[in-house]
Amino acid sequence: MKRRRIADRGVRVLFSVNAVLAAAVLLGILIFLLAYGIRAFIPAGAVDPEDPSTQPLTLGGFLFGASWNPDAYGQPEYGIVPLLLGSLITTVLALLIAIPMGIAGAVFIAERLRGGVRVAVKMAVELFAGFPSVVIGFFGLLVLGPALARVFNVPSGLNVLNASVLLALMSLPTIISVSDDALRVVPHSYREAAYALGASPWTTAIRVILPAARSGILAAVMLGFGRAVGETMAVLMVAGNAPIIPRSLFDPVRTITTTIAIELGESAFNSIHFFALFALGFILFLIALFTNLIAEALIRREKRSFTL
Amino acid sequence: MSPEGSVNSPAKLATKNLSVFYGSFQAVIDVGIEFPACAITAIIGPSGCGKSTLLRSLNRMNELIEGAKIRGEILLDGKNIYQLNVLELRKRVGMVFQRPNAFPLSVFDNIAYGPRVHGINRRQKLTEIVERSLKAVRLWDELKDRLDQNALGLTDEQRQRLCIARMLAVEPEVLLLDEPCSALDPIATLHIEDLLRQLKEKYTIVIVTHNMQQAARVSDFTGFMLLGKLIEFGTTSQIFTRPQHPETENYISGRFG
């Protein structure tokens, strides 16, 4: 009896410590990003009036500036608008491709496949979710890029379209797998009811099962969004990386994540440029935070309208 | 038709030498039964006797279970149901389940679901159907101002009525009910039974129940099943007062089951 109580307490401590640790690490990263990022905006150390690269940034110039050019001769520019748009455009395009395909794939797996085939397909999908992004980048660089250049007759296949297609490929497995889980927990009685009214399996899936699984599918889409907006390596390899606001699908594009990856190594330690990259990281964090909050709110609203 | 109507009255739906298998297990063995038109036929028997399986094979819902197959014939108006399109069959032979399985949609959309599936999309027509179906199950007065409300918020009885209304909305000819009152309280059960008595004027009704009183109260004909076989079939009064088989007598006198 006594031993059981000690074991019980031990397990509880173990779980609590781990939970606190996980939260603390996250909070630590946030504080670290904020502490470094903020130093791009406050004059620290020597400000040399002759050297524009030591001038602290203004928040307005950072958030609304239309040009990102830290290495400019003369006045360096740190406007995140092209990077922010780059991230959003590639992610949104990727999701436009991945959401319909992912949901359709999930419906097929959940509603039409049975037994061993189902298990095998699901396993393959989940395996693909863990595929190294650099390998997918290779595919984009060597296969998709040249193909796009030839098909659309453009000088380079390293552009918005290529990056979006790769991001779609990479968020597809997550969307399929999580949506499939959501579809599977829809009560069987809904299917029975629909079939008994003479509905075909596809009509049932579209008009009953999908609406009933809405909140789970929303969660799948948000996870897919997170995967796409945070992806760095594959995008770095195929996006062309010119920090401009793209005017077409065939323009190069630079995202927030790739900017950090490209420039962190070449920026002088503790320079304005260095701190500006941390500020970029903080922006990325805010995007993730807000999309999660929105998703959370949507899911909660769904749940309320579905339960009694 | 009077409750004493003969078994020889015209059969809307019938089975001939019907056997149903789940893999190697035979759940229904050589059943031949005729369901007379515009009457209520009850199928009774202990749990696992195959009565639900029999019912579900009548609109091919048993096919949702993997490995299910049948041998023998099922005839709707004298025509083998396997010659009909399965979706058309299920439209003509509707089904209500043990637990009220309303969709997580509004009352209106629940009832409009079937008609929409079958291609009716005009709002005015749908509104008519919803009103007619809800009136048929006597829910209209209760729900006419709450058509937009989520159906999952209704009481058990309201939901089961809604499920019946949803079935009626596709204008079936035969109603199959699989223990439709087992999730309801006794008062609600009586209400549903009243409703069935009204509905039988237009529909052929088959009800599976393990509640013998219910069978006695509501049905015109009764079939008794045991271990996959149809032991006895006759008018309800005959089955309950002068059963021909000792097993039937044992069951209805409560010696087992």
Domains with residue ranges and CATH for chain B: 11-101+171-252 (3.40.50.300)
Helices (H), chain B: 51-58, 86-92, 107-117, 123-136, 140-143, 156-168, 186-199, 212-218, 236-241, 246-252
- The reported pLDDT for the residue numbered B255 is 62
CATH code at A80-306: 1.10.3720.10
One digit per residue, pLDDT tens: chain B, 257 residues?
Answer: 333 334 556 788 999 999 999 988 999 999 999 999 899 999 998 888 888 999 999 999 988 888 888 899 998 988 889 998 989 899 999 999 988 889 988 899 999 999 998 888 899 999 999 998 998 888 898 888 889 888 888 888 899 889 999 999 998 999 999 988 888 888 888 888 988 998 888 899 999 998 888 888 999 999 999 998 899 999 998 888 888 888 888 888 876 65
Indicate yes or no: CB of A190 within 8 angstroms of CB of B150.
no
- Chain B residues within an 8 Å CB radius of A308: 152-153
- Report strand pairing: A77-78 vs A68-69: antiparallel
- If you average pLDDT over residues A15-44, what whole number do you get? 91
Q: Region A109-129: what's the mean pLDDT?
A: 91
Residue that is written with structure tokens 């992004």 in the block: A133
User: What tokens appear for A49 in the block?
Assistant: 């009036």
Q: Do B104 and A306 touch (CB under 8 A)?
A: yes
CA dist A175 and A156 (Å) reads 30
- Which residue of chain B is at minimal alpha-carbon distance from A208? B103
**Cα–Cα distance for residue pair B80/B159, rounded to 1 Å:** 33
Q: Say whether pLDDT at A307 is over 60.
A: no
Residue B256: per-residue pLDDT: 61
Cβ B113–A198 below 8 Å, yes or no?
no
Query: B59 touching A, CB under 8 A?
Result: yes
Write out the DSSP string of B90-149: HHHEEEE-SS----SSBHHHHHHHHHHHTT---HHHHHHHHHHHHHHTT-HHHHTT-TTS
Residues of chain A contacting B113 with CB distance shorter than 8 Å: 194, 197, 199, 207-208
The sign of the CA dihedral A86, A87, A88, A89 is positive
- Do A162 and A238 touch, CB atoms closer than 8 A? yes
- Smallest CA–CA distance, residue B103 to chain A, in Å, is 6
- Predicted confidence at residue A303, as pLDDT, reads 63
Of the pLDDT bands very low, low, confident and very high (cuts 50, 70, 90), residue A305 is low
pLDDT value of position A175: 95
Backbone angles phi and psi of B209, in degrees to 5? -150, 145
What are the φ and ψ backbone dihedral angles of B21, each rounded to 5 degrees? -115, 145
Confidence grade of residue A1 (pLDDT, cut at 50, 70, 90) = low
Strand order across the B79-80 sheet = B25-36, B11-22, B68-76, B79-80
Q: How many other C-beta atoms lie within 10 A of the C-beta of residue B181?
A: 24
**Whether B94 and A305 lie within 8 Å, measured CB to CB:** no
A196 and B167 in contact by Cβ < 8 A? Answer: yes
Mean pLDDT of A284-307: 78
Predicted ipTM? 0.85
* Domain boundaries defined on chain A: 2-77, 80-306
**pLDDT score recorded for residue A52:** 73
At B82 the three-state DSSP class reads helix
Query: What mean pLDDT comes out for the span A113-132?
Result: 90
Q: How confident is the model at residue A284 (pLDDT cuts 50, 70, 90)?
A: very high
Residues A68 and A74: their CA atoms lie apart, in Å, by 14
Burial B86-125 (b: 16+ CB within 10 A, else e): bbebbbbbbbbbbbbbbbbbebbbbbbbbbbbbeeeeeee
- Decide: A137 and A233 in contact? Cβ < 8 Å: yes
- Within 10 angstroms of residue B188's Cβ, the number of other Cβ atoms is 17
Interchain contact, A197 vs B59, CB within 8 Å: no
Output the six-digit token pair for A79: 């406007």
